Amino acid sequence: MGGSHKLSEDDLAQRRDAMIEFQIKHRGITTPSVLDAIRRIHRESFVPPEVRQFAYDDAPMVIKAGHTLAQPYVIAMMVDALNLTGSERVLDVGTGSGYQAAILGCLASEVYSIERIPELAEEARQALANEGVDNVEVRVGDSSLGCPDQAPFDAIVVTAGGTRPPEALLHQLKVGGRMVIPLGKDALVQELVRVTRVSETEFRSDDIADIAFHALHGEFDGHDDGLSSRTPFGRWVLNDRETNLTDRIRQQATPFDRVEDMPLDALMERIGDARVVLIGEASHGTSEFYLARQRITRALIERKGFSFVTIEGDWPDAARVDHYVRHAEYPPSEWTAFARFPTWMWRNEEVRGFVDWLRAHNALLPASERVAFHGLDLYSMYNSIRAILEYLDDVDPDTATIARQRYSCLAPFRANPGDYGKAALNPNYETCEKPVLEMLRDLQVRHRTYAEHDSERFLNTIQNARLVANAEEYYRTMFYGSRSAWNIRDTHMFETLEHLLKHYGENSRAIVWAHNSHVGDSAATEMSLRDEFNIGRLCRARFGSRAYSIGFGTDTGTVAAASDWDCPIEIKELKPSIKGSYESLCHKTGVAHFLLPLRGGDGILVNGLSTRHLERAIGVIYRPETERQSHYFEAQLPKQFDEYIWLDQTSAVTPLATESLKGMPDTYPFGV
């Protein structure tokens, strides 16, 4: 079958080059020596013959004895984090196939590799010899004990970790040496950490990235205490429970035929007097999620008098929409709203329909009662700086001059803000933290003077200044680990929401549009194992029962997404939901569309759904070839959301066509 297809050396070389270019370099690993080492070593030599054609896929591979060979990018990231110069002595803990040891052999002077399974160790020795790598010694032994007779080491890399680094390995590091190891409470949810030995007794750790080294062995393994799908009894119990859950979902759900017919009366009652309603989406490119969210939003505005809508989008771009929908009198910003990647996320026909509706709705209201539209995100650092300067040029030219001087620190990184984070890694580099915070403080001090001039424009300016300060911190810390960057971003979104509620008064009410991963309570997902939190968690902590969150799910259809960051939009086919997921449970009901109340819902159902299941999340990137690793995580649905909306088959959003925008007035936010 697929394994019998034999590829030529040229085919494999082309795949190796493509792997380096698209899986590794495009994700930020650009160290020449690391790329050269990966290019030299033939990955296909370290996997079973029957799967060699898949050696360069962007996925882990099963080798022998239940072991896996990590995906190429993960190995590149771990090796790159060691900062090897060529003269080091390195300990590789967990030889496996020997592929990582071979790469280390190209980058270091001596490598000792420990493997506990003799069969794997022998095969690794043979593969290393075939590749001409002669500076790696493979030993059989207890990996956690390392190689004390050859210690100390300049660097140690560990391919499987636990909750903390083994003491024996820590003390085999030289002072100044680095260890890279995955750590976490759960093997499926770990953080890749670099530990540096600062002195004989002190160690410093830096988070590098989230990582998962172990895939589930069975469809429900790890989902329930003491039950395993690898035993007949466990499989029977688990399958019976899932069947009962599907039946109960069918009984408790409120079905509907089309999004346009979605019943809202009971949902409005359940939302009650909530001050914040968070409405999610399971992907950033699904039409029905946008349409259903807008239908709920219109009802909240018309029936319950909600004050403003906020989105997982940049503040200055959303400000153009706000200017348009509230018929503002001051000139709009010059840029086109949501013109950067991923353009289709907000520049689509579905959002355009809501924006036009909101403008028409507001036209009938006094200016003070018009519903606003704001962005929560922080990726628009340079447009925000531009908006601040435009405002200050109008109202305070002297302060505008000071602002230009302070923000000039960030100017060299305009083309790629991520480069600022790389520069900030150098302890001798003077970051931009101080000048941007000084600018924010100066604007806050001038609050009364500026607000009297135009309170709405000042709100826009002060929020842009907050955004620049938080974005500076975000980019400055992003290379220390994904956890800190995620938490900075969602804290910024939550604080923006709080500032808006304060601005619009104590009776104001807010609607949040963002991905499920932001609006669902992170404490009910594996994010909590990484000490990550999101706007949904912060809203529940702040507003309690007056925060109501709504999640979405789908099974099949199409989605607008890219294959990688900054790549073109593609209309991709969704793979059917996998066994053991909430999506699979909902699909098996046979009900095409339904609402499912979770807060205060049927006790038996809520209890059953509170057992951990997989849940799918697709952002602006969709990689169906690595569906399980890339797009599923574990969650407890009733603790994550107050309501769940199921749309079994869905379709991609429709990006705005240039032709449809020609002839629009200058105030139109999406431009041409």
pLDDT per residue over 282-300, tens digit each?
Answer: 999 999 999 999 999 999 9
The pLDDT, as a whole number, for residue 602 is 83
pLDDT per residue over 76-90, tens digit each?
Answer: 999 999 999 999 999
Q: What angle do CA 301, 306, 311 make, to 5 degrees?
A: 90
- Listed in sequence order, the residues at least 6 apart from 400 whose beta carbon sits closer than 8 Å to its beta carbon are 389, 392, 393
Which one has a higher pLDDT value, 179 or 11? 179
The pLDDT, as a whole number, for residue 143 is 82
- Spacing of C-alpha 424 from chain mean position: 22
Residue 166 has pLDDT above 90, yes or no: no
pLDDT per residue over 414-442, tens digit each?
Answer: 988 888 888 887 778 889 999 999 999 99
Residue 180 has pLDDT above 60, yes or no: yes
Which one has a higher pLDDT value, 530 or 326? 326
Which one has a higher pLDDT value, 590 or 483? 590
Residue 608 has pLDDT above 90, yes or no: no
The pLDDT, as a whole number, for residue 221 is 33
- Specify the range with the lowest mean pLDDT, choosing from 158-162, 275-279, 303-307, 428-432: 158-162
Residue 506 has pLDDT above 70, yes or no: yes
The pLDDT, as a whole number, for residue 163 is 73
What percentage of the chain has pLDDT greater than the value 70? 91
Q: How does residue 1 score in pLDDT terms, banded at 50, 70 and 90?
A: very low
- Cβ proximity of 251 and 269 under 8 Å: no
Which one has a higher pLDDT value, 570 or 481? 570
Which one has a higher pLDDT value, 413 or 8? 413
The pLDDT, as a whole number, for residue 270 is 97
| Mean pLDDT over the full length of the chain | 88
- Cβ proximity of 464 and 492 under 8 Å: no
Distance CA 350, CA 345 (A): 10
Residue 508 has pLDDT above 60, yes or no: yes
**Which amino acid is located at 206 in the chain?**
D
Q: What angle do CA 135, 141, 146 make, to 5 degrees?
A: 70
Rounded average pLDDT over 626-643:
93
- Cβ proximity of 113 and 85 under 8 Å: no
Residue 225 has pLDDT above 60, yes or no: no
pLDDT per residue over 237-268, tens digit each?
Answer: 455 567 788 999 999 999 999 999 999 999 99
